[in-house]
Structure 1
Amino acid sequence: MAKRVLKPVIGMGLALMVSACAGFYGGGAVGESGPQIALNQTGFLPSSPKIAIVSGSDAKPVPWQVKDAKGKVVARGQSRYFGMNAGSGSPVHQIDFSELKTVGKDYVLVFNQIASSPFDIGPKVYDRLRYDTLAFFYHQRASVPIEAKYVGERWARPVAHNPDTATCYGPKDFRGNDWGGCPYTLDVSKGWYDAGDQGKYVVNGGIAVWTLMNWYEFSKGAADFADGKVAIPENANGINDLLDEVRFEMDFMMAMQVPDGATLKLPRGNQMKSLDKLEFSTVDASGMAHHKMHDEHWTAVPMPPHLDTEKRYLSYPSTTATLNLAASAAQCARLFKGVDGAYAAKCLTSARRAFAAAQRLPDVLAIDVLQGGGGGYGDPKATDEFYWAAAELFITTGEAEFEAFVRASPDYLASPSGDAQGGGDISWGSVQALGTLSLSIAPNIPADMRDGARQAIIKTADAYVAQTAGEGYMIPMTRPYVWGSNADFANRAMIFGYAHSFTKNQNYFDQSLHLMDYLLGRNPNMISYVSGYGLNAMQHPHHRFWAPSKDKNLPPPPPGVLAGGPQNRNAADPALKAIFANCKPQTCYIDHIDSYSTNEVAINWNAPLFWLAAYVGKGTE
């Protein structure tokens, strides 16, 4: 399909406005004709670094110009030859036009007579992005209709999975192990669909909802999302709209808790080498959290939620899911204190029950009982979840029991190392840094704990800075690109945000902007990985409702949705397999609905993008 040439609507992002502009979604799969200059296709803050990257093997500097919307040259200079960029497998030139600070729209950078995608410069270039990235969570809500008055006719859909009731699959799993089933059915309505399917997962929900709540705490009340500022049904209830969105997920997560007095058969210890011959123990599972709930089978793509007729089941409780609930519910309790006292108390009760259950059953691993229908989210180690949950409970309660648990943890004050092996990068399976981040901004904890957490985070930020200096696209990444690599970058930007808040070192803030630049177009694929932002933006995610390439009656993704991004570990899907033999780490990506390993969307990926958008949207104030 030939790429349409359109006048871009740079950084607009308003759902109602976009829905009326069919041509807003330019670009396409990697490999189509597109911009030859890699830069942030949305824009720049006036005082921010402004860097573009161009591939080229000629080591000589090349002249460049920036022109305004009228064609007037407003900046000029020469490129700097960086050399071979390992991530893309190509030599690159870097163009620095940071001296251009004049507010304006539709600038273009011209290099070798090639013009870049248009971009803006102004203090509000990220204003809409922070709201659009948050709107993703309303779009992903279960058990309620997604209403046109909040998202536009294009993205409205009827109610689905209401009520969302389920019992455990079984009594036998697909391998033949007899789990015995559950003697109850739970109503686990609400919450967010996890990704491009209609599954709901406590483990992934935990890190995603923590990230939203963390922005509320980090920003000291998230004033930009005060009641009435966000397009959701609860935006006139006197409660901060960010907390309203958080509550919708927390209601689901707390509903996944095992009722008091329930006895279940569960496999204890690591039995991953004998999955077809599990050994079970009969235990008091009170207070544990079910790992996930989803359809019995994978549905077709597309499959709008309201047309999904698959039977849905609970997976059995796991220690890691239980600790995700304990951590996020403890965090919820302190955020809602003084806002809704009854809800704060409910969250704290749930957190205490969950932590006690996890202490009683510290070794119940997540094992799939269905052959399909949902992601696994298996995790053989729970020390990081214990540390995170204890940290959140200590911050909320101040109780000595939790302080002692935190200090004794092998993950005490852990922060990503940033090394080539991953070094504990923030992810659903590696959450120790979440506890350290929370401790670093907690107001009423021992100074040595808070200061130690801050020092650990700054050390991580410095390791990332060192990586940026040696990377052609000026991003901190030296390890292999894994599934959800774009979320790795957004989470690393959060580390920079913390380091900047502690030190006021401008370089940390600038480093977070480099990562935003990468996500919005300054990458070897020259694509904005965020839908609706930039002339060449992602538009074909692996999603069962945002799927016009499969069904012309279905909508494209709304603005503000983050693609998973390049990954060079596994040619898992047929779309990626077609290019995998010849792609490099940063180019193993394709904007195709069938590429679930590079182009799916997920709540734990959009959450740090929201955090980053909210952070850079505030500038250095």
Structure 2
Amino acid sequence: MLKSGKPIVCSIAAMLMILSTALLMNGSNALAATSGSHPLKDLPVFSSTRNDEWAGAGSPLSLETEPYNGNPALPVDTAETYNGLPSLRLNVTSDGSSGFGWWSVTQADNNWETYSLVPYYANGALEFNIKGAAGGEAFTIGMGDRNYRRDPVQYNTSSIRSSNYVTVTTDWQHVRIPLTDLIPAGSVFDLNQVYLLYFGSANNNAQEFWLNDIKFTSRDQEHSAPFIKVNQLGYSVLAEKYALVSGYADELNAVDGTRFQVKRASDNSVAYNGKLKLVDDYDSQSGERIFEADFSSLLKPDTYYISVAAPGVADSLPFRIGTDVYQPLIVDAARYFYYQRQGIALDAAHAGVYTRGIGHPQDADAPFASGANPRRDVSQGWYDAGDYGKYVNSGAVAVSELAWAYQLFPNEFRDNQLNLPESGNHVPDILDEAKWELDFILKMRDQASGGFYHMVQPTGIAAPDSDATQRLIEDVNGSLTNVRPTDDAASAAAALAEASISFKKFDPTYANTLLTAARRGWDYLVANPNGVAPVPGPYGISDDHADRLWAAAALYRATGDDQFNRYFLDNYQNFASAWDGSRDNPGGVGNMAQTAFLDYLQAGHPDAAARAWFATEFAAWRKPVLARSEHGPWRNTLQDNDYYWGSNGVALNTMHVLAIGTIVLGGHDLRGDVRVGRAVESAMNYILGINPLHRSFVSGEGADSITTIYSTAWSNQGHPGVPKGYLADGPNIYNNPLLSCTTPAKCYLDNDSNWTTNENAIYWNADLVLDATLAAQIP
């Protein structure tokens, strides 16, 4: 699931700086929490380690700097410490010439991310310790935000002077500056999208001083979200129906056995009476006490809300009970891909208010990075995520998930369903949409070898129809040129083979084109048994073995050819670790071994011994997964350390592997296995509002759904908001140290400039389509 090396583009003092970032998913512990008080944590701008930074000066002044993450930054002084922490040294010198100089230091979050000071503002402060070399040193302090939906995107507050708060001496002193002084009330400054903290020159003096333990603080407590969490879309008639009632123990005035009622929204009449059941007195993922309100026996379709007989507990948001709760979500989640299309104008007839011109028309005549091959047309395909990159292996994963949704449940998908330009051609719209990406993948082929180039490089931050920067087909790795990574060939071969099965009924010629390209991709893998390393950049997969297995299984399913069967049988037992139930990341880019098994079991004549082996391994994997779904605090299978980038996608991916594995082994629908059906429903409940944040993580789906998404396209397009159906990546404890969360499941920020928690990606939305389709099978 990890997209490493993701480019982040940021501006500092009218400069554009392109920074490379690496997302770390492993090697970090989940946030610690205790069952006592719940104060807002200190947000560490600089403590023992630093976040990103830029420092510079102008004549006649100079500022001592050292390189850090590709930028000039202040030296970290481990000799000048205070309270056991190092300091930042600000050593300003002058060449003595005339004129008024300047110096400036920009302190940012890790990877130049935005963060929120909303809960800190009323009673919070910027705090730091300071010591001067001579005494009397002075400087200014200011802040900047970043909001792509506003003009100007970046707004800087007026600077305040340090001398109003401290007279610097040669001894360490503590300084506390109220946030209301830094950011005046009524300012257009967006407290939910804080970007930069500035220290700058107040005079033309040479001076030296040290700053230590820079942080934002507040004496306030962290507050609970609204207490009653429901699936904001609703529940199928025969589904398990529950709400979770949760909050900090000192705020939630409910106990085991507190009465609740489900009421009709139309007339407030009572449809169900029940009692809360304590689930967890202290949950480490949220820091909260959790109760369950179960109303599964309420079967009558209608719109309802929940009322709890406890002081201070407001009624829930409304929700539906019905037989078609998930059908609108399937449509919205699938229409997401139309909005992600490259190479087409989004017109009002199909996009409503979300129109734009042709995105990156230059892709129709793109050069290779090496210059070794002629320019070619690599238009079409989907923008992968929040950036403008187009990647073969991640696109293949998304296509695969859409293909599985259609092939398992074709009755859920029809022509004229998604209002696409292709609607009305007698092909289900979901296949028309997949074809937009498949055509791009086909264009990334090397005809001579059968291999596939990895990506069309992402570019700048202008709107897609305004970004005229050169985009390249990346084929360079160090001194190597014309690089066609084998993981891309394996992924493409698998997805093309799967898709050929779907198109055979509607367009046999196109299905044959897909299958021929898949076979040629396999030929390339055979010719390169030791693999071809990836080019630098996102989704660079060095170990292609899992995706080779996927390609073999998908091709065997599509063709029945013995060579693919032999490869699978010779290698499948090497992937027993894929069924280690203690881990909660069943698959994704570069790791599609589990899907390989599902494909193989769908083939016409799977080997009986392989099937039996898989049945045993799957049963062992399924047991802890179901246990986490049934007994985990939020019923999402995620463990405390699983809240990393893309955690929502992981929660959904786990469920579709569980469900499809059950289907291909048992040959029955989800109504035949109540536990699996409930697990799928529970994952959707979590995504759609039954989570500690009380948020639906899908734009436009529910009364408290997310309102923004990290998207270079939509953030710079000038539209008010984003289309319905965009899934955010979800809580993330690893990549943004200035998020004001103390527990894993709350490390989330809904804004348009934070990729760590609020980015979209094509394979996550494909997960959403597939899981919503699975949930829709329960009437």
**What TM-score bracket applies, with the shorter chain setting the length?**
0.7 to 0.9
Could you say which residue in structure 1 is the equivalent of 2:272?
A: 75
Q: Deviations over 1:351-410 (max 9, x none)?
A: 111111122224222231xxxxxx511222111011000111111111111111001115
2:268 is equivalent to residue 101 of structure 1 = no
**Which deviates the most, 511-520 or 36-45?**
36-45
1:376: which partner in 2?
538
Query: Within 5 Å, which residues of 2 pair with 1:339-378?
Result: 339-361=506-528, 362-368=530-536, 376-378=538-540
Assess, with a 3 A threshold, how the Cα gap between structure 1 residues 593 and 135 changes in structure 2: closer, same or farther: same
Write the distance in 2 (CA, Å) between the matches of 1:510 and 1:33: 27
Alignment of 1:159 with 2:358, yes or no, is yes
1:212 counterpart = 2:402: yes
Q: Residues 440 and 453 of structure 1 are in contact (CA less than 8 Å); yes or no, is this contact kept in structure 2?
A: no
| Higher share in helix | 1
Match of residue 228 from structure 1: 416
| TM-score computed with the length of structure 1 as normaliser | 0.82
Identify which of 553, 560, 566 aligns with 1:398. 560
One-letter amino acid of the counterpart of residue 712, structure 2? R
Q: Secondary structure at the match of 1:598?
A: helix
Q: Which residue of 2 aligns with 1:266?
A: none
CA–CA distance in structure 2, aligned partners of residues 29 and 431 of structure 1 = 37
Amino acid at match of 1:101: L
Aligned residue for 2:568, secondary structure, equals: helix
Retained in 2: the 8 A contact 1:234–1:241? yes
The runs of 5 or more residues in structure 2 that have no matched partner are 1-116, 119-190, 194-221, 476-483
Q: May I ask how many residue pairs the two structures share in their alignment?
A: 538
Worse overlay, 454-463 or 319-328: 454-463
Return structure 1 stretches of 4+ with deviation > 6 angstroms: 28-33
CA deviation profile, 1:6-55 (whole Å, cap 9, x unmatched): xxxxxxxxxxxxxxxxxxxxxx9799996331221111111211121222
1:322 maps to 489
Query: Residue 251 of structure 1 aligns with which residue?
Result: 439
Match of 1:437 in 2: 598
Q: How far does residue 512 in structure 1 lie from its aligned partner after superposition?
A: 0.4
Equivalent pair of 1:475/1:515 in contact (CA under 8 Å)? yes
Residue identity opposite 2:733 in structure 1:
N
- Name the SS for the 2:755 alignment partner: coil
TM-score normalised by structure 2 residue count: 0.66
User: Residue 373 of structure 2 aligns to a residue in which SS?
Assistant: coil
Asked if 1 retains the 8 angstrom alpha-carbon contact of 2:278 and 2:290, the reply is yes
Q: How does 1:23-422 map to 2 (within 5 A)?
A: 35-56=226-247, 57=249, 60-69=256-265, 70-83=267-280, 84-110=282-308, 112=310, 113-152=313-352, 154-162=353-361, 164=363, 165-170=365-370, 181-219=371-409, 222-260=410-448, 286-295=449-458, 297=459, 299-300=460-461, 303-316=462-475, 317-361=484-528, 362-368=530-536, 376-410=538-572, 416-417=578-579, 419-422=581-584
Q: Secondary structure at the match of 1:198?
A: coil
Shift of 1:249: 0.8
Residues 1:353 and 1:499: Cα distance change in structure 2 (over 3 Å): closer
Q: How far apart are 1:452 and its partner, in Å?
A: 4.5
- Mean Cα deviation higher: 412-421 or 243-252: 412-421
The answer to whether the 8 Å contact 1:104/1:120 transfers is yes
- Structure with the bigger RCO (C-alpha within 8 Å, sep 6+) is 1
Q: Secondary structure of 2:271's match?
A: strand
Per-residue deviation, residues 96-127 of structure 1 (Å, max 9, x unmatched): 12122221114334352421111111111112
Match of 2:659 among 480, 497, 517: 497
Change (3 A) 1:151 1:459: farther
Q: Between Structure 1 and Structure 2, whose CA radius of gyration is higher?
A: 2
What residue is the counterpart of 1:463 in the other structure?
Answer: 624
The answer for unaligned runs of 5 or more in structure 1 is 3-27, 171-180, 261-285, 369-374, 572-576
Helix, strand or coil: the match of 2:293? strand
Structure 1 position 457, deviation (Å): 3.8
> Could you tell me whether the CA contact under 8 Å between 1:67 and 1:110 is conserved in 2?
no
Measure the CA separation in 1 of the matches of 2:575 and 2:298.
41
C-alpha distance in 2 between matches for 1:340 and 1:452 = 36
For residue 293 of structure 1, what is the amino acid of its counterpart?
A: V
Change beyond 3 A, Cα 1:518–1:252? same
> 1:522 pairs with 681, 690, 700, which one?
690
Shift of 1:598: 0.8
Cα distance in 1 for residues equivalent to 2:383 and 2:498: 21
Where 2:522 maps in the other structure, the secondary structure is helix
Moved more, 469-478 or 442-451: 442-451
- Identity across aligned pairs (percent)? 29
Q: For residues 761 and 526 of structure 2, what CA distance do their matches in structure 1 show?
A: 30
Secondary structure of 1:94's match? strand
Per the TM alignment, residue 75 of structure 1 is displaced from its structure 2 partner at its CA by: 1.4
Q: 1:188 to 1:411 in 2, by over 3 A?
A: farther
Q: Secondary structure at the match of 1:527?
A: coil
Structure 1 window deviating more from structure 2 (607-616 vs 476-485): it is: 476-485
